[in-house]
Amino acid sequence: MNPLPLVRGERPPGARRRHVLVAAAAGLACAVAASTAAPAQQYAQPLAPASSVRAPHCSLEGARTIKANRYVRVFKKTQRGYGGVYGCRRDARRAFKLGIVGECQNNDEIQRVEVAGRRAVLGIFECSLTAGWWRVDLVNLRNGHREFTSNPTTIAPLNESTSAVLHRIVVTADGAVAWTAERTAGGARLDVEVRRRRRATTNQAVLLDSGTDIDPDSLRRRGRTIVWTKAGARHSAQL
């Protein structure tokens, strides 16, 4: 028996089933690839505004300041070593929750903080049972918006034997950010990178310098200039 003629645009018998199977296989491949990528790779765009809590005069009872200037304050409120990290304008009645201290597993643990103007740059560490990873976040404490986020190094850790450790972060009042980070494997240093936000209006980072002879703790900001030490010599760049 001859098959019925097809209506224009209609798929041949079995084509829909094959199409669904191919799409399902492609989706499974994408899911596997995503599950094996470094977790910090997920942060390709700035994050949503932070949640907030009532904090008259930018304070909570028993809180301790981490970093502050004339405009903003970043503080922690802990009990038995565990608690939240908050940031706000000094004259605000609410504080934005930026992360926690005391536990990195499936949490944003705040381990580095610097402030300038009304912004705070955060060095955030997160971990699973078998691995840990860092990221850099910039938060505007006027509204809680996370304006920038980045992996610490240009190459994310490829497996559990490699790591990228954030060392120093600096920030300017208008949102220029720079940092140093070290890539290691099996405890041996592979590279140290000096990176910065490309512009204060982008979510991209650029590499300024790299090498095993960079002191990762030498980064400092002098106005719009950052300086670091490589092979014992001072290097600098403009933010």
Per-residue pLDDT of 40-54, as tens digits, reads 444 445 667 778 999
Is the model more confident about 18 or about 96? 96
Per-residue pLDDT of 59-96, as tens digits, reads 999 999 999 999 999 999 988 888 999 999 999 999 99
Per-residue pLDDT of 117-133, as tens digits, reads 999 999 999 988 878 88
Q: What is the pLDDT of residue 158?
A: 63
Query: Residue 159 corresponds to which amino acid?
Result: N
What integer best gives the mean pLDDT of the chain? 82
Q: Cα(230)–Cα(80) distance, rounded to whole angstroms?
A: 40
Query: Residue 143 corresponds to which amino acid?
Result: N
- Fold type of domain 38-238: Lipocalin (2.40.128)
User: Average pLDDT in the 225-239 region?
Assistant: 97
- The answer to whether the beta carbons of residues 179 and 169 sit under 8 Å apart is yes
Indicate the pairing of strand 233-238 with strand 225-230: antiparallel
Per-residue pLDDT of 93-106, as tens digits, reads 999 999 999 989 88
Q: Structure pTM?
A: 0.78
Helix (H) and strand (E) counts for the chain? Answer: 1, 16
The dihedral over CA atoms of 209, 212, 217, 222, expressed in degrees to the nearest 10, equals -20
Q: Cα(178)–Cα(198) distance, rounded to whole angstroms?
A: 9
Q: CB 93: neighbour CB atoms within 10 A?
A: 12
Does 39 have pLDDT greater than 60? no
